[in-house]
Amino acid sequence: MIDARNLTKRYGATLAVDDLSFSVEPGRVTGFLGPNGSGKSTTMRMIVGLDAPTSGAVTVAGRAYGSLRFPLHEVGALLDANAAHPSRSARNHLNWLADSNKIPRSRVDAVLGVVGLTDAAHRRVGELSLGMGQRLGIAAALLGDPAILILDEPINGLDPEGIVWVRHLLRSLATEGRTVLVSSHLMTEMSLTADHLIIIGRGRLLSSGSVADFIEQSAGHHVKVVTPDADALVVLLRDKGAVVTVDAPQELSVQGLESRDVGILAAGAGLTLYELSTEHASLEDAFMDVTRAHAEYRGTVQHVAGSPA
């Protein structure tokens, strides 16, 4: 359980995180989404006590991170996979982390096995590939067998097999009842991995809810129709109150009516249909919708503020 209340972080004139409140529940994968520079990493840094909030607070398991004595037993974090001394071996990198939190060295071998780095354990971190470095970062997050996992862009630099592996790993960690917060800019990946989403833009909360609800509410779905009688059908559909856009000479996109209704309407008027299908928006579409609306809103505010009053 991660609980953020009115979390705010200001760097000079820049408001990186703006009155952000959310909670991350155990037993599911929570995706943390936002455009670049939206405050995801800053928020994660505040959760693990690296940056102090300007105001507001965030707790892990009901406590401030800084009050934990040996936090790796409670919270595992991957914030920067490059954060390792290049001349230290992969195993020694995990050894010092284990020592700092009284974690037995047997766990080092265990997590090296989990991420598939057992054979590379003796190699210096500087010699590891991008993907192996990412796996080492995930191993470090898993080291203390924590109930809460915070992973910033965990699939960066991984090959397709590695991406599938992370997806299964995150799902199984959530199934075990752990709290999993994972940020990514890859929307498609999020739609496959996450159960729940927290979406931020310019440091503010834009949306929070299940992945399915989010897509439905923001972008919804539309009906795609391909017909040689497009002009006639558009008139009929608009009479019924549907919003119709003409995508191509014979292709329509219909919102506000189900495909069943469109079919009945066309049949009643004797119109020929080549294709009739329901198209669900992707998480990417939904995300674009939400962040675009937000950007426009912000733009308007700035315009008003800038005009002479």
Partner 1 sequence: MTQALLSQGTPAAVEGRLFDVLHAACQSEWTKLRTVRSTTWALVVTVVSTVGLGVLLTALVVGHWGQQSVYVRNGFDPLLYSYAGLNVAQLCIGVLGVLVMTSEYATGVIKLTFGATPQRRVLLGAKVLTFSAVIAIVSLVSCVTAFFICQALLVAKHAGLSITDPGVLRAVLGGPVRMVLIGVIAIGVGAIVRHTAGAVAILFTVLLIVPGLVQLLPAPWNNDITRYLPSSAGAAMSAVVRFPNLLAPSAGFFVLLAYAAATIGAAMVLLVRRDA
- Give, for 163, the enclosing helix (H) or strand (E): helix 160-175
User: In terms of CB distance, is 105 or 260 closer to partner 1?
Assistant: 105
Smaller CB distance to partner 1: residue 125 or 230?
Answer: 125
**Which region, judged by CB under 8 A, interacts with partner 1, from 60-68, 127-135, 240-248, 253-261?**
60-68
Nearer to partner 1, 48 or 112 (CB): 48
**C-alpha separations of 186 from 50, 182, 189 in Å:** 25, 11, 5
Contacts with partner 1, 218-247, as mask; x by CB under 8 A: ------------------------------
Least CB distance from residue 147 to partner 1, whole Å?
Answer: 6
How many residues bind partner 1 (CB under 8 A)? The answer is 44
Distance (Å, whole) CA 280 – CA 218: 11
- 3-class DSSP state of 253: strand
Binding mask 68-107 for partner 1 (x = CB under 8 A): xxxxxxxx-x-xx-xxxxxxxx--x--xxx-xxxx-----
- Residue 225: enclosing H or E segment and its boundaries? strand 221-226
Give the burial class of 251: count Cβ atoms within 10 A of its Cβ; 0-12 exposed, 13-18 middle, 19 or more buried: middle
**254 is an interface residue for partner 1 by CB under 8 A:** no
> Which tokens is 168 given?
């299964």
Q: Is the Cβ of residue 52 or residue 305 nearer to partner 1 in the bound state?
A: 52
DSSP code of 202? T
Amino acid at 262: V
Interaction site with partner 1 (CB under 8 A): 45, 48-52, 60-63, 65-75, 77, 79-80, 82-89, 92, 95-97, 99-102, 140, 144, 146-147
